[in-house]
Chains A and B, each alone.
Chain A
């Protein structure tokens, strides 16, 4: 441990540390028009930004990139996040000049390519999910959830049904589900899971009454299990007048396997950044389109892409924007994550076709069950049955003080990214493992071997785990110090005032 009086060692300086007055990273041409008078009283006195040369900037970010683990670099079985391989062609198609350099407010006649692509993607997502209408506007999964719960409430209100205030959410749900409901002031009622990891039907029945807005369900759920009574669950919610929300974060298990719309879900968001290979970007951007059944289509956010004039014998259709009749409004400026989201997902679906999509889910589920089969003797899996695209094991052993966190950190020494830990909340010391379909058997075997070896180390050399990782550039972090001192920025107005 560093002692409090020694200054920390700097591995890579910040761009502010690297700055040297007078260096330049880029130049722009001199103005080719007469200079206008600047409004003196409104000008900024100084701009405290760094001064660096181009090579300084490139080396700095190159150094930083080396401190990152990534899918391109290795196996990343982060549960619930679907860290599949991101095809390189997507990076090229989304950077075509016709996409990069179009303005969202251009006249529709000049951007028929973009609109046709969005329309087609809406249609494909409808077909894949079994919904009647899709909006591409939401920016990420949580934004899609927020869109969905607004739609659900607006639907009830439009029927004069204003006493519905409860949202039913299983205890295994992701935090964004209750947070999305909380954002619009709904009362969240937690529904327990049964011994097989399904929604507890009895508990659900008790909550189903005429104050229910609906239920938010992830299926397969965050245990990686397909609910064995899914149709009964949906029927119970529908019978009390509620709507069924599907968290589509786990859609990678269902492509060509089952359509949530066919099962009776009313609303669902897609995570294009999970299922449809949009890269996660170190935390976004994502894209979270929302699909709905026919009787909710009028409530979708505006605008949607539609056909304004049907095709004729010699003209293609004219695509444009339409406003749903009872729209909840606009979720963000412009039309959603077109370039980084829609174009990549479109490319991906086009290259897979119906059979390729089904292969994705079948192999994602194969890989998860293979790992489960290899690990269940070593790690306790509390809900142990055929899983879908992921499963959750316990990262603890009887008589040992080793925790899931230690196992996760030790995996780094074996050059693997750890699984998600401490989620879902209903499994003690959870290790949530999602292999995805883009890993081969050798990688899965190596990963299983490492986990089995670590289980052995936990018994024989627990300190190896407590002190892990030891082979990475950085060791464990002092999280308490970060929260207590709250250094959130290496530039502060008062420091700067002292310097100048």
Chain B
């Protein structure tokens, strides 16, 4: 299949205009011994064949909308996406445009991003949002870069709660390697039951940033107000990694006086897609906006007196600042910011809250039923949102294998990241899980108990 719309006759006319004989004549600058390699690739498929082949590949997976009942979360969640979202994303005007460098003919994208920024600021309780980062983990790493810039490298310690998502912590380690930072608290062997205030002992005058997660990796909800005040008392900034669905129900990090709120926007109308692409959101206080990385859309007027939007504060970015830019980010997650704006607009005040409450009630029902099974109990007593850690009397791996035989995708095996939790499952429940599904999870797990 080819998408080239040029006939052989037209090609020859073009070659004549250029003044060469053949297409190959255009490549004389390429060293001859390496020119025109034979690529060992399968022959081209027609659209009909490609559609069939891709359908086969996709069908060989077991998906969570038909093949499997899922209780897997750990940073990516199976939520309902209303039909409108994809209808908007499928508009060629949106998905086949570039980053809006020419505002006169890009107001669709620009206003949509401006609205995304506004919705995200409202959801997190913060003053400003950028136009997105790659995902929640890279947004968290960019928070470290922002704090580094804020203190001009004079403070060298980041305190990270061990209950921040293990992959987010890993990405922060990757991003900061060679910066000679101390990453305190990033210890999977730490006491995971001691509560957030225990982190206070790690925060000192050298601390640039404290990072906590809300709800934490085990689904627990803490009020971080006191901890944040304590960190501010030492002059440190505080970043809260938040789940956006939870923010529709619970007190915002903004109310707790967080300086930065980041997270993954996948729950806001983005399919799981085997892990990506999703969306990293990043909101902060207005006073930090010049240090924030990533694109920003601001309101203005055009020459005809119409309200309009442009990319602004671009002097922070790589194309102007080059090696002195705080981040190299260029392409971000534009279309998915649009997806989450459509999702939030559509669900609105009541729908967002309804989804969050459904998750909460269903997760609590599941937790209550599961903890009645002999040999199983909730690992923690704190309030939780839609995810909880279940302590088992045998390895989580075996339990998951048993569940899978019954068509159930069990929870996340916490022993992979936390040595002390090797018999623990992290169970996620969303509005997609029916009572029957939860009951069958309970039933199959009860069999494990007897078996």
Contacts and interface: CB of A to CB of B under 8 A. Distances in A.
B178 A113 contact: no
Given A47-B353, A336-B275, A369-B18, A475 B304 contact: yes
Interface string B85-97: 0111011111111
Contacts of A331: 138, 171, 174
Interface in B298-332: 298-310, 312-313, 317-325, 327-332
A141 B331 CA distance: 8
A76 B96 CA distance: 10
A363 B47 CA distance: 21
Given A67-B108, A487-B298, A280 B344 contact: no
A193 interface: no
A68 B129 contact: no
Contacts of B347: 25-26, 49
A478 B26 contact: no
A438 interface: yes
Nearest to A18: B345
A67 B132 CA distance: 21
Contacts of B272: 100-104
A112 interface: yes
Given A15-B119, A102-B64, A49 B1 contact: no
B42 A350 contact: yes
The DSSP consensus for interface residues of chain A is: loop
A283 B99 contact: yes
B122 interface: yes
Interface string B1-33: 111111000110111011110011011111100
Interface stretch (B73-81, B197-205, B231-239, B370-378): B73-81
B335 interface: yes
Interface in A97-113: 97-107, 110-113
5 contacts: A71-B96, A104-B274, A182-B324, A351-B1, A489-B118
A50 B277 contact: no
A154 B138 CA distance: 20
A328 B177 CA distance: 9
Given A51-B350, A69-B106, A113 B43 contact: no
A47 B338 CA distance: 20
Given A139-B135, A334-B167, A54 B277 contact: no
A22 to B, nearest CB: 9
Contacts of B138: 139, 143, 331-332
B365 A175 contact: no
A117 B59 CA distance: 12
A14 B114 contact: yes
A329 B104 contact: no
B66 A97 contact: yes
B189 interface: no
B306 A9 contact: yes
Contacts of A19: 348
B323 A36 contact: no
B54 A343 contact: yes
Interface in A326-371: 328-341, 343, 346-347, 349-360, 362-363, 365-367, 369-370
